[in-house]
Amino acid sequence: MLSYRHAYHAGNHADVLKHLTLMLTLDYFNQKPAPYWYIDTHAGPGSYRLDQGPAARTREFDTGVGKIAGVKPRPKSIQRFLDVVGCAGKDGLPPVYPGSPEIAQRLVRSDDRLRLFELHPTDFDTLNKHFAHAGKQAQVSKTDGFAAIKALLPPPTRRAVVLIDPPYEVKQDYDTLVATLEDGLKRFPTGCFLVWYPILARPESRRLPKKLLKLGETARGWLHATLEVSAPAADGLGMTGSGMFVLNPPWMLADQLAEALPWLTQHMGEGVPARYQLDSHSE
């Protein structure tokens, strides 16, 4: 199935959690001079218009970046995040919201490399055009990112950040994700793997965190953060929040999210059900 289009959900509460975690991770990798690779298994088109098209019709960004862009005071990490995504206009929202590939491009250095995968034909064409002038720094491939990363691990740099955030529109995505991570850790035990997942009523979504925690026992460390902003709908459908699971996380990430998550919960939550959870372990 190739029906999922993230443009309808750009800038929502799940994007805020995902992109904040990604930004903090890349900032940490930038502290060391040695180059690294950024690998994105489901890259999407690269960026999204908020003032027209699908995002403007659904306005899901009102549940995420739109809720926090004008709020002050704010934690240092949130300020950094808003600067990176471009929330500096009069109303706080940029006309274009960056996806994970664009955020990475804004943060990586000249010696770092981007490897981006997108299977949806329309989104791939947009992503390919988006990075047409990036030269050798970025490679865009129209292929299944789950399968493709096997050939990239370990990268020549022996340093990499791998973001895996499939659409989860088919049940197999959950099992494929776990299998991909298991294989990735065998090939590249020191790699930093970031996994985003939705919090849904469906059983596959509820079982995934336990599987990830079990897999985390084989890594040198792990971090698990969730942010739930609303109660389930009456029919039980819809995404109430999302989670980020990080294998081999930066050592500062837990403290940074411990400061940011209460603030995000306060300002993006929709009443009493709003909550967050943060757990981590390191050797």
Q: Is the pLDDT of residue 271 over 90?
A: no
Q: Which residues are catalytic?
A: 165
Question: How far is C-alpha 107 from the geometric centre of its chain's CA atoms?
Answer: 14
Strand segments, DSSP code E, in the chain are 37-40, 47-49, 96-98, 113-117, 138-141, 160-164, 192-199, 221-228, 241-247, 275-282
For residues 103 and 165, what is the distance between their CA atoms, to the nearest angstrom?
Answer: 15
User: According to the model, what pLDDT value does residue 234 have?
Assistant: 64
Q: What is the pLDDT of residue 270?
A: 79
Q: What angle do CA 78, 83, 88 make, to 5 degrees?
A: 115
- What mean pLDDT, rounded, does the chain reach? 93
pLDDT in tens, 67-102: 999 999 999 999 999 999 998 655 678 889 999 999
Number of domains in the chain: 1
Residues spanned by the domain of 261: 6-282
Contact by Cβ (8 Å): 231, 273: yes
pLDDT at 126: 96
Query: Per-residue confidence at 194, pLDDT binned at 50, 70, 90?
Result: very high
Structure confidence by residue, pLDDT tens digits, 151-162: 999 999 999 999
- Establish if 165 belongs to a structural domain: yes
The pTM assigned to this predicted structure is 0.96
Is 271 inside a domain boundary? yes
Among residues of the chain, what percentage have pLDDT more than 90?
Answer: 85
Mean pLDDT of 249-277: 93
User: Tens digits of per-residue pLDDT, 203-244?
Assistant: 999 999 999 999 999 999 999 999 999 887 766 678 899 999
Residue 2, pLDDT > 50, answer no
pLDDT single digits (tens) 160-187: 999 999 999 889 999 999 999 999 999 9
Q: Residue 122 and residue 5: Cα distance in Å, rounded?
A: 10
Order across the sheet with 138-141: list the strands.
Answer: 138-141, 113-117, 37-40, 160-164, 192-199, 241-247, 221-228, 275-282
State what percent of residues in the chain have pLDDT above 70. 96
Q: Name the least confident of 52-56, 102-106, 152-156.
A: 52-56
Q: Dihedrals φ, ψ of 194, to 5°?
A: -110, 125
Q: How far apart are CA 250 and CA 242, in angstroms?
A: 20
CATH code for the domain of 67:
3.40.50.150
Is 1 inside a domain boundary? no
pLDDT at 93: 87
Stretch 29-42: mean pLDDT: 98
Residue 237, domain member (yes or no):
yes
Q: What's the confidence (pLDDT) of residue 230?
A: 86
- Give the pLDDT confidence score for residue 5 in this predicted structure: 72
Residue 49 has pLDDT above 90, yes or no: yes
Distances (CA, A) of 196 to 87, 140, 225, 226, 271: 23, 21, 10, 10, 24
Give pLDDT, residue 91: 60
- Average pLDDT rounded to a whole number, residues 3-26: 90
Query: What's the confidence (pLDDT) of residue 26?
Result: 98
Let me know if residue 105 belongs to a domain. yes
- pLDDT of 82: 96
